[in-house]
Chains A and B, each alone.
Chain A
Amino acid sequence: MSAAEQTIEKLISQEYKQGFVTDLESDTLPPGLNEEVIRIISAKKDEPEWMLQWRLEAYRHWLTMTEPRWAYVDYPPIAYDAISYYSAPKAKEGPKKLNEVDPKLLETYNKLGIPLYEQERLAGVAVDAVFDSVSVATTFKDKLAEAGVIFCSMSEAIRHHPELVRQYLGSVVPAGDNFFAALNSAVFSDGSFVYIPKGVRCPMELSTYFRINAAKTGQFERTLIIAEERSYVSYLEGCTAPMRDENQLHAAVVELVALEGAQIKYSTVQNWYPGDEDGRGGIYNFVTKRGDCRGAHSKISWTQVETGSAITWKYPSCLLRGDHSIGEFYSVALTNHRQQADTGTKMIHIGKNTKSTIISKGISAGRANNSYRGLVKVLKSAENARNHTQCDSLLIGDRCGAHTFPYIEVKQASARIEHEATTSKIGEDQLFFCRQRGLSAEDAVSMIVNGFCKEVFKELPMEFAVEAQALLGISLEGSVG
């Protein structure tokens, strides 16, 4: 192995810092899935009958489906009966205020670098923290309520805003959309719900932190964001999990609805436990994320930095229904050791003058496989649709792989589609050049990787950009002068 590769391996193979387990008493269902389990989940959450029926329908549909195998990833069959579908930290009663939350939990969040109190005071970021399956605390509720913004856990939304949930849940990702989405629809236990009223610019960044703590549980969160006409919201999502030998399933569904003139910016820093060097353990991250630009001039941006998970299967997509609507996808996916990622996006152009931008940066090291899979589809109705796609891969060492699967389907002659792809290696030349100028090998690699990801990092909200940098083991390229 060359000096460059060694340096890079050292950098990317830093210990997984979030791998601790919190010792909490929890209320966990025994493994297994059947209608009874779904009834129990629904009952635990005090759900209305329609919600239970919706879940059961999804479950029955799921039973008829088979797991998709088209992704460029390889894993043994998942034993769905060996997974527990509900685990919640035990509390006498649901916490009503932050000071009623189990101190151990709060400590965990502090360890993860998201001090809820701190954030409450300083950052102006409202946090909804989902621990295993239930939403633990939502900060900043009052200030948001003043603006008319609803930001709460999905379970709460089902109880307090049933009309909104009923109207929008499954309207972007139908219960039977795909195998994992159907499973999620049947058993989702919590997640975040956001509603921004007409003309409101959400007064702060909203943020959710997902954490899988208990062993042998799956996490199936469900997020729904509704942005009414001319509203704006920026939403951040972070994820971590303890280190465990067995694989754990994470199958989330995220639905975004942007009405006329609304903008939703959705950013993710995903750092689920990736498994060890030999590929033992780690999270299977099979996620369905889709945004619906329902109104004219609406805009949805997905920005993701994916460094964790043993397997990532994830295609945040945009349905560009409204005329002049805009979809964006900015992604950095880093895989190392035996990690596998098959990720990308779908941009479906339906309305006139719709525009989409895709910028994907894949970094692959060790024996990892990193695939970009993207679909740009222009329907007959989408006159003057435009897409620009740029897919860059950076290889580190020669045992890893980068693959690009761009699919383009155009039914409208006026469409303009551009696709650029590059593959490069961190060169000995680049590294030597930097060292010749006095930089250490570590700093040089950081700088090069950071430069490679720059177009994506600049899309992240500031505090997340810093976190993303830290995750890649690199320091942010500060703007000079």
Chain B
Amino acid sequence: MLKIENLHVRVEDKPILKGISLTIRPGEVHAIMGPNGSGKSTLSNVLAGRDGYEISAGSVTYQGRNLLEMAPEERAREGVFLAFQYPVEIPGVSNIYLLKAALNAVRKHRGLHELDAIDFLKMIKDKVKLVEMNEQFLYRAVNEGFSGGEKKRNEILQMAVLEPRLCILDETDSGLDIDALKIVSDGVNSLRCEERSFILITHYQRLLDYIKPDFVHVLAQGRIVKSGDADLALELEDKGYGWIDQQLGAVA
């Protein structure tokens, strides 16, 4: 589904990603962990197509196409979804309006007819239940005055509505209380299927207690320095990133 090869990215002439390679097949869940500032959000932004990043080397292929050539909205319509680490507020635009506009843009791209108000409302109410949100949130302005946890849940709601192929969750678990973490995880698990893949960026093992990853990667200083299965996360939780540094030191 996604193949990242030797990806180098600079921001304002500063190298941030220094040769990332990663292959994700349909249905897989990959967790990416790593210290603050190591480049995790940079990677997710580059995959989603944000401006301001210079790709100095490498390639990204998504479903057989060159992802880096596609406009952000095209990537989204082709099924790339990014749940933001810091969701933005859009005053005056209601959540439900955004959801409807986004869904119809995606559907149109896929050659489906636009949903009418009744069908849309029926669908959306099911999805709202999935993330256990109060329906009133649908009619509030996008993320305006939402608590940190509510914003994150709102991201998952959008994901559930848009039914993407590749879901990138950038620290969606940060700032969630125990109950919300469970709800978000259940939401993600219910979306897991053979065609859908996930990249979970997280600092904490507890998310991975709920969503069991197939692979865990450690990103440090712009490189994937270690990859393993779910047990790697447990080891990290135990020993910290210092343990990796030591191992790397030993190699170098």
Interface residues, chain A, with chain B CB atoms under 8 Å away? 2-3, 427-430, 432-441, 443, 447-448, 450-455, 477-478, 480-481
Contact = CB atoms under 8 A, between A and B. Distances in A.
Nearest to A437: B102
Given A432-B50, A439-B101, A481-B96, A451 B90 contact: yes
B112 to A, nearest CB: 13
A480 B76 contact: no
Contacts, number: 92
Given A448-B93, A451-B91, 15 more contacts: A427-B88, A428-B51, A428-B52, A434-B90, A436-B72, A436-B73, A436-B82, A438-B105, A440-B73, A447-B101, A450-B93, A453-B92, A455-B92, A480-B97, A480-B121
Contacts of B77: 438
B84 interface: yes
Given A3-B51, A436-B48, A439-B101, A451 B92 contact: yes
A382 to B, nearest CB: 32
Interface of chain A: mostly helix, strand, loop or mixed: helix
Contact of B73 (A430, A438, A477, A480): A438
Most chain A CB atoms below 10 A, which of B48, B49, B90? B90
Interface of B: 48-52, 71-73, 75-77, 81-82, 84, 87-88, 90-94, 96-98, 100-103, 105-106, 109, 117-118, 120-121, 141, 158, 162
A448 B90 contact: yes
Contacts of A438: 73, 76-77, 102-103, 105-106, 109, 162
Contacts of B103: 438
A480 B91 contact: no
A452 B92 contact: yes
Given A435-B71, A441-B73, A447-B93, A480 B117 contact: yes
Contacts of B120: 480-481
A481 B128 CA distance: 15
Contacts of B87: 433
Contacts of A443: 101, 105
A18 B118 CA distance: 38
B73 A481 contact: no
B76 A435 contact: yes
Contacts of A2: 51
A454 B84 CA distance: 26
Nearest to A361: B92
A432 B162 contact: no
Residue of A432, A437, A438, A478 contacting most chain B CB atoms (<10 Å)? A438
Of the listed residues B92, B118, B162, the one surrounded by the most CB atoms of chain A closer than 10 A to its CB is B92
A430 B143 CA distance: 11
A428 B53 CA distance: 13
Contacts of A450: 92-93
Contacts of B91: 451-452
Contacts of B82: 436
A191 to B, nearest CB: 35
Q: 3 shortest A-B CB distances, which residue pairs?
A: A451-B92, A451-B93, A437-B102
22 contacts: A3-B51, A430-B90, A432-B51, A433-B84, A434-B102, A435-B72, A436-B81, A437-B105, A438-B162, A439-B73, A441-B73, A443-B101, A447-B93, A447-B101, A450-B92, A451-B90, A451-B92, A451-B93, A451-B141, A452-B91, A480-B100, A480-B117
Contacts of B92: 450-455
A481 B117 contact: yes
A478 B52 CA distance: 33
A426 to B, nearest CB: 10
A427 B143 CA distance: 15
A427 B50 CA distance: 13
A478 B97 CA distance: 8
Given A432-B50, A438-B162, A477 B93 contact: yes
A437 B51 contact: no
Contacts of B96: 480-481
B161 to A, nearest CB: 9
A439 B121 contact: no
B90 A432 contact: no
Contacts of A451: 90-93, 141
Contacts of A432: 48, 50-51, 72
A443 B71 CA distance: 14
B121 A481 contact: yes
